[in-house]
Structure 1
Amino acid sequence: MKTVYSPLHAGHSGQMELVAGAIVPGFEKSSRAEIIRARIESEKLGEVLPPREFDLSAAKRVHRADYVDFLPTVWPMWVASGRSGTAMPFTWPTRGLRGDVRPRTIDALLGFYSFDAGANFVEGTWAAVKSSHDVALTAAALVGNGERAAFALCRPPGHHAGSGFMGGYCYINNAAVAAQWFRDQGASKVAILDIDYHHGNGTQEIFYERSDVLVANLHGDPMGEYPFFLGHADETGAGEGEGFNHNYPMPPGTAWDGWSAALDDAYAKVAAYAPDILVVSLGVDTFEKDPISQFKLRSEDYPKIGRRIAKLGMPTLFVMEGGYAVEEIGINAVGVLSGFEDG
C-alpha cells in the first residue's frame, strides 16, 4: 500500500491549547506523523510518496468559500494585530447572539469560524493544513487510478471541520474533500467510515442532507464525550440524506467485543449501500492508553479492523485522523493498514 506524506505538517508545531482551564502544549503534535511514517518504513508497508499540489476547488464544494479563504489569512492578521505565540479563539456567537454577520477583527473571526478553542494557529499552520489537503487528494488519486488502497498520512486531521467551521485540531475536512473529489471524478456513491474515538461531527454536518455520501461514525457517547453536540444514534440524516447517516455512540470503557459489534453493523450498512469508493477516517485514539480517550482497544485489535474492512472488497482510501498515545500510534495505525493488506 502506498502512503502519501508531507514534511510540511511539521510547521504546525509548538501550538498551545486550552484543556481543563489551563493553556497547555497541544496533544496534536508533529511526532504523531513522524512515528507513523517510521513504522510504515520499518514494516515495509510500501512506498512513501510526496503529495501533488491541488487547488482548493473540491474543498470549496464541501466547505464555504469564505471559510476556506479565511484560513490562510489568520496568521498574517494575528501578527498584524501585534501578537505572536498561538492564535486561538476565545469568544463565539451562540444562542441569542448574531452569528449571521461576519465581523472584521481577527479575534472575532476566529470565533466566528470555529466551534471550540482546539484549532489554533502558529506561523506554519496554513502550510501544514494545505499540505494535509494535498496529501488526501494525492492518495485519493492513487485509488482513483486503480490502486486497491492508499493511505493519506494527513496532519492536521480533518473530521471535526464542518462546512463553515474549524475545531478539534481540524481545519479542512480531508476525508470529506476526498469523498467530494471522488464524486467529481465520476463515482456515483461514496461511503465514509469514521472509526476515530471522537465523533466526526464535521463530516456528519457536511453530508447530512446528501444521499450520495453515506457516513457511519463509531465513537464515544456525546452525552459525556467531546465534541458533545452531535453524534447521537437518532441523527440519521435529513431531507434527501435521511437514512444515510449512522451513528454508533458507545460508553466509556468499551473494549473490542462491544466496539467490534458496532463495526459489524456499520460494515453491513456500508455493504448494503454498495459505494464505488470507501473512505476510512482512521483514528486510533480508541486505544486503551490514549491520554484523552476512554475506549479499551488493544494493539492486537487494530489488524482485525483492517481485515474486516478489506472483506468489503472496495477501493479504499485511509485518511489519518486522531490518536494521541504517541508511543503506540505507529503500531496501531499501521496495524490497521497491514491487516487490510493481509485481508
Structure 2
Amino acid sequence: MKTIFSPLHAGHGGQMELVSGQIVPGFEKPSRAEFIKARVESEKLGPILAPKEHSLDAAKRVHASDYIDFLPTVWPEWQNAGFPGSAMAFTWPTRGLRGDVPPKRIDALLGYYSFDAGATFVKGTWDAIKSSYDVGLTAAELVKAGERAAFALCRPPGHHAGAAFMGGYCFINNAAVVAQWYRDQGAARVAILDVDYHHGNGTQEIFYERDDVLMINLHGDPMTEYPFFLGHADERGAGKGEGFNHNYPMQPGTAWDKWSAALEDACAKVAAYAPDVVVVSLGVDTFEKDPISQFKLKSSDYPRMGERIAKLGLPTLFVMEGGYAVEEIGINAVGVLTGFDNA
C-alpha cells in the first residue's frame, strides 16, 4: 500500500489549546505523524510518496468559499493585530446572537468560523493544512487510478471541520473533500466509515442531506464525550439524506467485543449501499492508553479492524484522523493497514 506524506505538517507545532479551563500544549502534535511514518517504513508497508499540489477548488466543493479563503489569512492577521501566542478564538456566536455578520477583529473572526478553541494557529499552520489537503487528494488519485487502497497520512486531521467551521484540531475536512472528489470524478456512491473515537461531526454536517454519500460513525457517546453536540443514534439524515447517516455511540470502557459488533453492523450497511469507493476516517484514539479517550481497544485489535474492512472488497482510501498515544500511534494505525493488506 502506498502512503502519501508531507513534511510540511511539522510547521503546525507548538500550538496551544483550551482544555478544561487551561491553556495547554496541543495534544495534536507533529510527533504523531512522524511515529506513523516510521512504522510505515519499519513494517515495509510500501513506498512513501510526496503529495502533488492541488488548487483549493476541491475544498470549496464541500466548504464555504469564504471559510476556505479565511484560513490562509489567520496568522498574518493575528500578527498584524499584535496578539501573542497561538491564534485562538475567545468568543462564539451561540444561540440568540448574530451569526450572520462576520466581525472584523481576527480573534472574533476565529470564533465566527469555529466551534471550539482546539483549532489554533501558529506560523506554519496554513502550510500544514494545505499539505494535508494535498496528501488526501494525491492518495485519492492513486485509488481512482486502480490501486486497491492507499494511505493519506494527513496532519492536521479533518473530520471535525464542517462546511464553514473548524474545531477539534481540524481545518479542512480531508475525508469529505476526497468523497466529493470521487463523486465529481464519476463515482455514483461513496461511503465514509469513521472509526475515530470522537464523532466526525463535520463530515456528518456536510453530507447530512445527501443520499450519494453514506456516512457512518463509530464513536464515544456525545452525552459524555467530545464533540458533545452531534453524534446521537437518532441522527439519521434529513431530506434526501434520511437513512444515509448512521451513528454508533458507545459507552466509556468499550472494548473490542462490543466495538467490533458495531463495526460488523456498519460494514453490512456499507455492503448493502454498494459504493464505488470507501473512505475510512482512520482514528486510533480508541486505544486503551489514549490520553483523551475512554475506549479499551488493544494494539492487537487494529489488524482485525483492517481485515474486516478489507472483506468489503472495495477500493479503499484511508485518511488519518486522531490518535494521541503517540508512542503507540504508529503500531496501531499501521496495524489497520497491514491487516487490510494481508486479508
Alignment of 1:138-217 (within 5 A): 138-217=138-217
Alignment partner, residue 235 of structure 2: 235
| Corresponding residue for residue 337 of structure 2 | 337
Asked if 1:121 corresponds to 2:121, the answer is yes
How far apart are 1:332 and its partner, in Å? 0.1
Task: Give the match's secondary structure for 2:248.
Answer: strand
Alpha-carbon displacement from aligned partner over 1:108-151 (angstroms, at most 9, x marks no partner): 10000000000000000000000000000000000000000000
Cα-to-partner distance string for 1:55-93 (whole Å, 9 max, x where unaligned)? 111110100000000000000100000123200001000
Matched positions, count = 343
Distance 2:117 2:85 in 1: 15
**Pairing 1:272–2:284 present:** no
Residue 2 of structure 1: how far off its partner (Å): 0.0
CA RMSD in angstroms, aligned pairs only = 0.4
Counterpart position of 1:321: 321
Aligned AA (1:229): F
Structure 1: distance between partners of 2:284 and 2:50: 23
In the TM superposition, what are the counterparts of 1:71-150 in structure 2 within 5 Å?
Answer: 71-150=71-150
Distance 1:108 1:83 in 2: 13
Aligned to 1:290: 290
Q: Does the residue aligned with 1:192 lie in a helix, a strand or coil?
A: strand
In the TM superposition, what whole-angstrom CA distance separates every residue of 1:40-60 from its partner, at most 9, and x where no partner exists?
A: 000000000000001111110
Q: SS at 1:317's partner residue?
A: strand
Distance 2:122 2:299 in 1: 33
Map residues 44-59 of structure 1 onto 2, 5 A cutoff: 44-59=44-59
Runs of 5+ consecutive residues of structure 1 not aligned to the other structure: none
Identity between Structure 1 and Structure 2 (%): 80
Question: How far apart are the structure 2 equivalents of 1:105 and 1:240?
Answer: 38
Distance 1:38 1:316 in 2: 22
Q: Which residue of 1 aligns with 2:226?
A: 226
Q: Secondary structure at the match of 1:299?
A: coil
For residues 162-192 of structure 1, give each alpha carbon's deviation from its aligned partner in whole angstroms, at most 9, with x where no partner exists: 0000000000000000001111111010000
Please state if 1:6 is matched with 2:13: no
Tell me which amino acid in the other structure corresponds to 1:185. Q
Q: Secondary structure at the match of 1:177?
A: helix
In the other structure, the counterpart of 1:30 is 30
Q: Distance in 2 between matches of 1:14 and 1:131?
A: 18
Q: After TM superposition, which residue ranges in structure 1, 4 or more long, deviate above 3 angstroms?
A: none
Q: CA offsets per residue over residues 212-271 of structure 1, 9 Å max, x none?
A: 000000000000000000000000000010000000000000000000000011000000
Query: Distance between the aligned counterparts of 2:199 and 2:211, measured in 1?
Result: 20
Match of 2:303 in 1: 303
Letter in 1 for 2:258: G
Q: In 2, Cα distance between the equivalents of 1:334 and 1:94? A: 40
Q: What's 2:249 paired with?
A: 249
CA distance in 1, matches of 2:79, 2:88: 13
Structure 1 residue identity aligned to 2:252: P
Q: CA deviation at 1:105?
A: 1.1
Q: 1:287 & 1:304 partners in 2: Cα distance? A: 14
d(CA) in 2 for partners of 1:18, 1:163: 23
Whichever residue aligns with residue 74 of structure 1, its letter is: V
Q: Counterpart of 2:27 in 1: which secondary structure?
A: coil
TM-score, normalised relative to structure 2: 1.00
Map Cα deviations across residues 83-106 of structure 1 (whole Å, 9 max, x no partner): 232000010001110001111110
Query: What is the SS of the residue equivalent to 1:193?
Result: strand
**Structure 2 counterpart of 1:42, which letter?**
S
SS in 2 for 1:216: strand
Aligned to 1:335, what secondary structure does the other structure show?
helix
Q: Measure, in 1, the Cα distance between the counterparts of 2:157 and 2:22.
A: 23
State the distance in 2 between where 1:59 and 1:84 align. 30
- Could you tell me how far apart the structure 1 residues matched to 2:62 and 2:242 are? 18
